[in-house]
Amino acid sequence: MEVGAVGDLRRIKNAIGVARVVMEKTKHTFLVGESASVFAENMGFTAEDLTTNTSLDTFKNWLNNKCQPNYRKNVSPDSSASCGPYKPGAISQKKRKVEHLDISSHDTIGMIVINSTGSIAAGTSTNGANHKVPGRVGDSPIAGAGAYADSTAGGAAATGDGDVMMRFLPSYLAVELMRVGVDPSAACKKAVTRIKQHVPDFFGAVICANTTGGYGAACNKAPGFTTFSFMVYNLQSSEPVERKVDCI
């Protein structure tokens, strides 16, 4: 029941390492923005320019494509045809087209680990959604959303459209289900199904592990996303083994 998190971290490559230092070296839970970056530098993390030729090309192409996608709505000028700057606009009465998160732009890594004494830890690290509004923080650093662990019940981690998933705390829900004896696979499915009831075509997946080392995963079927692969490494295998589940 210890947590450390950072969000909107810049210049520091090892974000999850900084999150651990927040947990171990402060009485806080969550640091964000420039202050989190300065904290990391003070704690000995290397500050560096994380820009690459690929990221620069991606940004230039985005600008040339009228800044699409940009995740804005109800602003002026029209965010679907302009790069702004934006001001508040009238709330549109037209049904907004459902925009799916590009799964190829996703880089979240989630892990659940059980040590030899039975302690369970879970964590996530991500660069977030491409072209997000500056300052946006997704589900990854939110305890209970991106990941959750309780050594008396199990651990879970999530990936996908964080702006949707963080509203439902899927990792927390999955762990609480395992606490009352629900199988890890079933717990993951229930967590995904709960979101699906409200947002049928969201992009996302959850992995789960209980206190005995049982594990499972579930994903929601979306365009271009029908199966979900994850890796398992335990005493029954000499090396990590890829597992795959069909999305529901």
For the annotated catalytic residues, the residue numbers are 108
Q: Is 118 annotated among the ligand-binding residues?
A: no
Q: Is 211 annotated among the ligand-binding residues?
A: no
User: What's at 117, amino acid-wise?
Assistant: T
User: What's at 198, amino acid-wise?
Assistant: H
Q: Is 49 annotated among the ligand-binding residues?
A: no
DSSP letters spanning 140-184: TTSBTTTEEEETTTEEEEEEE-HHHHTTT-HHHHHHHHHHTT--H
Q: Is 107 annotated among the ligand-binding residues?
A: no
Q: Is 11 annotated among the ligand-binding residues?
A: no
Q: Is 139 annotated among the ligand-binding residues?
A: yes
Q: Is 4 annotated among the ligand-binding residues?
A: no
Q: Is 160 annotated among the ligand-binding residues?
A: yes
Please name the residue that has the structure tokens 């996530």: 124
DSSP letters spanning the chain: ----EEES--SBS-HHHHHHHHHHH-S-SEEEHHHHHHHHHHTTPPB-----HHHHHHHHHHHHTTS-S----SEES-TTS-----EE-PPP-SPPPP----GGG---EEEEEE-TT--EEEEEE---STTPPTT---STTSBTTTEEEETTTEEEEEEE-HHHHTTT-HHHHHHHHHHTT--HHHHHHHHHHHHHHHSTT--EEEEEEETTS-EEEEEE-BTTB-EEEEEE--TT-SS-EEEEEE--
What are the binding residues for substrate? 136-139, 159-162
Going by the annotation, the residues of the binding site are 136-139, 159-162
